Amino acid sequence: MNLIIDVGNSFVKLAVFDGDHIKHKEVVELDLILNSIKAVKYKFTTVKKAIVSSVGKLSESDLDTMRGYFELMILNTETKLPYANLYKTPKTLGVDRIALVSASVNKYPNTNVLIIDAGTCITYDFINNKNEYLGGAISPGLRMRYRALNNLTAKLPLLDIELPDSIIGNSTETSMHSGVVYGILKEIDGVIIEYKENYSDLTVILTGGDSNFLSKQLKSSIFATSNFLLEGLNFILQFNSNE
């Protein structure tokens, strides 16, 4: 069994995999990570290996403690990957994007795949049927757009995400909802259409925290999945363990 540790800015996702299957998953606050990992180790005694994907929030002391529990891999730009990385600045590629592309290789081998991760930012990542990662795009996510409207103007309020009843906003708030939500929906559908003009056999994956909200509104055919990043991290660990 493998332990997957995905460290975000405030929360940590922990997942125990038996092969390709998730046996346990939880989300914990960052300052509780070591206690939670110790509890997982106690409950799942056959977990021997772990992988950490982190945005830099863990100290060396934290990592040393984890090394005392598991054979630990820390995902970075030097990690051996199951695909050819043709990104022109590979050292700047986020570990989350690396993991998402790895998941697509595992689940859809030798396929043209566009992975859309709808979180704080919306990232678009494309890997072709030759197992070559070419790159993609990064744009602001839903909450970032709402915050920008509030922070960069004098009078616009900070709103929670809400699906507008109509594309025509008849108040300041409904106009903001229309601009943000329909703006992102049209962006995503437009990007998918553009890719399909060049890759007619394209498979599209939508994942991330806002994927459930967005997937119901998109016109394009997609596969929505919430565990894609965790699956990608598990596959990277498996790939390197089999070397």
Domain covering 2-74 assigned CATH 3.10.20.600 in the classification? no
Q: Is the pLDDT of residue 85 over 60?
A: yes
Whole-angstrom distance, CA of residue 119 vs CA of residue 210: 6
The three-state secondary structure class of 19 is coil
Residue-range domain boundaries for the chain: 2-74, 84-233
Q: Give the mean pLDDT of 120-127.
A: 96
pTM of structure: 0.93
Q: What is the pLDDT of residues 73-82, one digit of tens each?
A: 999 999 999 9
Is the distance from CB of 114 to CB of 205 less than 8 angstroms?
yes
pLDDT value for 55: 61
Residue 57 has pLDDT above 80, yes or no: no
**Cα 31–Cα 36–Cα 40 angle in degrees, nearest 5:** 160
**Binding-site sequence positions for ATP:** 6-13, 120
What is 84-233's CATH number?
3.30.420.40
By percentage, how much of the chain surpasses pLDDT 90?
A: 88
Sign, CA torsion 132/12/227/66: positive
The annotated binding site for substrate is made up of 87, 94-97, 172
Q: Which residues are annotated as a binding site?
A: 6-13, 87, 94-97, 117, 120, 172
pLDDT at site 122: 96
Taking only the tens place, the pLDDT of each residue in 212-224 is: 999 989 988 899 8
Task: Specify whether 160 is catalytic.
Answer: no
- Return the SS3 of 36: helix
- Of 62, 96, 125, 160, which one is the catalytic site residue? 96
pLDDT, position 56 = 66
* The 11-18 sheet, strands edge to edge: 21-29, 11-18, 2-7, 49-54, 71-74
Average pLDDT over every residue of 106-119: 96
Residues forming the annotated binding site for K(+)? Answer: 117
Asked, colleague to colleague, whether 2-74 and 84-233 share their fold, the answer is: yes
Q: What is the mean pLDDT of residues 179-208?
A: 96
Assess contact for 205 and 188: CB atoms under 8 A: no
User: Are 144 and 208 within 8 A, CB to CB?
Assistant: no
Q: What is the pLDDT of residue 237?
A: 97
Distance CA 70, CA 65 (A): 9
Residue 200: pLDDT above 90? no
**Structure confidence by residue, pLDDT tens digits, 27-47:** 999 889 999 999 999 999 999
Cβ count near 82 (within 10 Å): 16
